[in-house]
Amino acid sequence: MGQKTSSARLALDPQSSHVLRRFAIVFSFMVLWSIAIEPRDPIKGMALMSAAAAAMDGLIAMLRKDVFNGPVLTYWDSTCAFFAVSCLVRGIA
């Protein structure tokens, strides 16, 4: 009776959904742009763009005074995600 459906448990609040969509869009453009710039070795461009995106999102998070590790996703979460992508890509290269 009191059980929620699986879709209700996985539903995110609007702000978190917006952060995830924004990350997915920016990440997609970064992948496409790094491939367009250097088709033979897009890894270096991807690492650089991911680090730049992490720095920019971190700056925006500080200016907006977002709460780190809060109940909803914020610019801090996308900062951590872009930093993780940068580290992963640098480890692959």
| Tens digit of each residue's pLDDT (9 = 90 or more) over 3-59 | 555 555 667 888 889 999 999 999 999 999 999 998 898 999 999 999 999 999 999
The verdict on residue 75 lying in a domain is yes
Measured CA distances, 60 to 16, 43, 44 (Å): 16, 26, 24
Whether 22 is in a domain gets the answer: no
Q: How far apart are CA 31 and CA 66, in angstroms?
A: 27
Domains: count for the chain: 1
CB atoms within 10 A of CB 78: 23
Instruction: Give a yes or no: residue 80 inside a domain.
Output: yes
Rounded to whole angstroms, how far apart are CA atoms 27 and 65?
24
Q: Which two tokens stand for residue 29?
A: 């453009």
List pLDDT tens digits, range 40-54. Answer: 989 999 999 999 999
d(CA 71, CA 48): 30
Is 71 part of a structural domain of the chain? yes
